[in-house]
Chain A
Amino acid sequence: MNNTVTDTDQIASINIDQDKPHEQTVEEIVASLGDTVGETRVDNPKMSCTGVDVFYADKQAIFGVDLDIGENEVISMIGPSGCGKSTLLRCLNRMNDTIPICKVTGKLTLDGDDIYDKKTDPVLLRARVGMVFQKPNPFPKSIYENVAYGPRLHGLSRNKADLDDIVVTSLKKASIFDEVKDRLDQPGTGLSGGQQQRLCIARTIACSPEVILMDEPCSALDPIATAKIEELIDELRENYSIAIVTHSMQQAARVSQRTAYFHLGKLVEVGKTDDIFTNPRHELTENYITGRFG
């Protein structure tokens, strides 16, 4: 039916070539990993994944993940590159919808409602499940407009005063208001990296989300900006559920209450962060967090 070679096919063939020295296929290795170690469920789930599989064309990226994100908890997802943690994060607010070859199966719920249901509007879903990305990506607009954009789109304000209020509150919650209050009409792109990232967090908060997804939010920031963001994550936890993907294990240990370790698209272990970092139960988790990547 389709004889043209697509980019995806090329990527797939490159991967296969790289995998040649290994005798086992990814599927075989995943099967050998066994069941997820630790408690995947929590008493008060905000979001739930059950048997989630994700495919990019024929290539399976996530294998049968069960995982809860609890109310007012920070859960960190760690694992080597390509382990599927970002893919899973993006499934949680249907960011993968924009990738035509991506197929998600299994059940993902927000407050018990299936987020992949035909009736669910992804735009409204993304207002409830906000996202902060690796690189700060403010709109090429003023600081004020960056934050006001979402609330205006979703009709969250009745008048200008309302909108002003949302912008100021959001900037305050993101701990950046004091630094930008005198230049709200200046472009957001003119801020420093750390400020831009906090502006993006303010932009996310402005839509009054219930869950915030963060995909390596501090990887492009210096230690001071990182510390501010981490402090902010801790404060935000009071009102939101937060899932954070991070390559910094120390960061996962610092900010999260639960940690999930992924390997080759499989959720290998999940548990209290304190336990994972002092006494992980799965050998792969142990190897990863102690720096044995061989």
Chain B
Amino acid sequence: MKKFSYEGHTAHQFDVELNEVKHKVMNMGGLVESMVHNGLEALLTMNTELGAQVSEDDHRANQYELDIDEDCTRILARRQPAASDLRLVLTIIKTISDLERIGDEAEKLGRISVKLSGEADVPHYYKDLRHLGDLVKTMLRDSLDAFTRMDVESAFRTAARDEAIDQEYATFSRLLISHMMENPRQVSHALDMSWCARSLERIADHCCNICEYVIYLVEGQDIRHANLDDMRKKLL
């Protein structure tokens, strides 16, 4: 595994600029992580206030994306980064786009929680949704961790979890279908739940992307659309 550092430039100001932009990405990651947590909680506890909070946070996430994009543009124009520095800037540009999308998905959870707040009963499948949500939240945290520590091993491990989440999503969808067949009057509610599960599944996909960027960043190998196990054997 390669060592990775974005410090040690003779032009010290370049270190400072890269450090600043990386910290912004970490802050954005933290915000998005809390949005996913809050969105899910709002949904599962019917907390409309929390749901509305997620929508507000989404504006902040969008602003982060714009700011970081601008920082990266400035770095590209002024520093013409090469090799690992270039890969770092490219990785950041791509990562924040996925983070922004994760924020959008979290915002959807919040929006649906507000919409469903009037419902009387908590359906039994909520616990399955919570399970899916917990898996996704852990995956998001570990992806951001892998990014922060530039940890290829952890990125591989985290990306591999996408498959389990896909299966969990498929199981949950089947559960919803049987619930809809048994309770035709709750189809509308169950469809909303299906959208929520879909959002969670999409968040896991974005996490997977972030892990792939981390591997590209450190190893210089683009592993998108490649077999994860093969690449892992090759690189580690």
User: Least Cβ distance of A278 to chain B in Å?
Assistant: 6
Chain B residues with Cβ below 8 Å from A279 are 83, 87, 220-221
Chain A residues with Cβ below 8 Å from B178 are none
Q: Which of B116-139 contact A (CB under 8 A)?
A: none
Q: Mark A252-293, 1 if CB is under 8 A from B, else 0.
A: 010000000000000000000000111110010111011111
Nearest neighbor of B8 in chain A, beta-carbon distance: A292
Binds A, one of B9-17, B33-41, B107-115: B9-17
Counting CB contacts under 8 A, is B231 at the interface?
A: no
Counting CB contacts under 8 A, is A250 at the interface?
A: yes
Take A277-B83, A286-B84, A289-B82 as given contacts and tell me if A294 and B220 are in contact as well, using a CB distance cutoff of 8 Å. Answer: no
Chain A residues with Cβ below 8 Å from B183 are none
Q: Would B10 and A289 count as touching, CB distance under 8 A?
A: no
Distance, CA A294 to CA B221, complexed state (A): 27
Chain A residues with Cβ below 8 Å from B81 are 290
Q: Which of B172-228 contact A (CB under 8 A)?
A: 220-221
Chain B residues with Cβ below 8 Å from A287 are 8
The CB with the most chain A CB atoms within 10 A, among B14, B81, B84, B221, is that of: B84
Q: Would A277 and B10 count as touching, CB distance under 8 A?
A: no
Q: Mark B1-12, 1 if CB is under 8 A from A, else 0.
A: 001000011110
Q: Would B9 and A290 count as touching, CB distance under 8 A?
A: yes
User: Least Cβ distance of A217 to chain B in Å?
Assistant: 20
Distance, CA A279 to CA B85, complexed state (A): 10
The CB with the most chain A CB atoms within 10 A, among B8, B82, B87, is that of: B82
Distance, CA A30 to CA B82, complexed state (A): 25
Q: Would B83 and A292 count as touching, CB distance under 8 A?
A: no
Nearest neighbor of A286 in chain B, beta-carbon distance: B83
Counting CB contacts under 8 A, is A232 at the interface?
A: no
User: Least Cβ distance of A268 to chain B in Å?
Assistant: 14
Q: Would A249 and B220 count as touching, CB distance under 8 A?
A: no
Distance, CA A286 to CA B218, complexed state (A): 12
Q: Would B87 and A290 count as touching, CB distance under 8 A?
A: no
User: Least Cβ distance of A282 to chain B in Å?
Assistant: 11
Q: Would A290 and B80 count as touching, CB distance under 8 A?
A: no
Q: Would A290 and B84 count as touching, CB distance under 8 A?
A: yes
Nearest neighbor of A280 in chain B, beta-carbon distance: B83
User: Least Cβ distance of A279 to chain B in Å?
Assistant: 3
Chain B residues with Cβ below 8 Å from A249 are 82
Counting CB contacts under 8 A, is B86 at the interface?
A: yes
Distance, CA A91 to CA B11, complexed state (A): 34
Nearest neighbor of A293 in chain B, beta-carbon distance: B10
Chain A residues with Cβ below 8 Å from B85 are 290-291
Nearest neighbor of B14 in chain A, beta-carbon distance: A291
Take A279-B87, A279-B220 as given contacts and tell me if A253 and B10 are in contact as well, using a CB distance cutoff of 8 Å. Answer: no
Q: Given A278, A283, A292, A293, which contacts B220 in the complex, CB threshold below 8 Å?
A: A278
Chain B residues with Cβ below 8 Å from A290 are 9, 81-85
Q: Given B9, B10, B11, B86, which contacts A278 in the complex, CB threshold below 8 Å?
A: B86
Distance, CA A287 to CA B220, complexed state (A): 15
Chain A residues with Cβ below 8 Å from B3 are 283
Chain B residues with Cβ below 8 Å from A277 are 82-83, 86
User: Least Cβ distance of B5 to chain A in Å?
Assistant: 9
The CB with the most chain B CB atoms within 10 A, among A250, A279, A285, A294, is that of: A279
The CB with the most chain B CB atoms within 10 A, among A250, A287, A291, A294, is that of: A291
Chain A residues with Cβ below 8 Å from B221 are 279
Q: Would B9 and A292 count as touching, CB distance under 8 A?
A: yes
User: Least Cβ distance of A163 to chain B in Å?
Assistant: 44
Q: Would B8 and A289 count as touching, CB distance under 8 A?
A: no
Q: Which of A74-124 contact B (CB under 8 A)?
A: none
Nearest neighbor of B10 in chain A, beta-carbon distance: A293
Chain A residues with Cβ below 8 Å from B86 are 277-278
Chain A residues with Cβ below 8 Å from B80 are 250
Nearest neighbor of A292 in chain B, beta-carbon distance: B8
Q: Would A278 and B14 count as touching, CB distance under 8 A?
A: no
Q: A253-B82, A290-B83 are in contact. List 5 more A-B contacts (CB 8 A).
A: A278-B87, A279-B220, A283-B3, A289-B83, A294-B8
Contacts A/B (CB < 8 Å), 17 sampled? A253-B82, A276-B83, A277-B82, A278-B86, A279-B87, A283-B3, A286-B83, A287-B8, A290-B9, A290-B81, A290-B82, A290-B83, A290-B85, A291-B9, A291-B85, A292-B9, A294-B8
Task: List chain A positions with a Cβ less than 8 A from chain B.
Answer: 249-250, 253, 276-280, 283, 285-287, 289-294
Q: Which 6 A/B pairs are nearest by Cβ-Cβ distance?
A: A279-B220, A293-B10, A289-B82, A292-B8, A290-B85, A277-B82
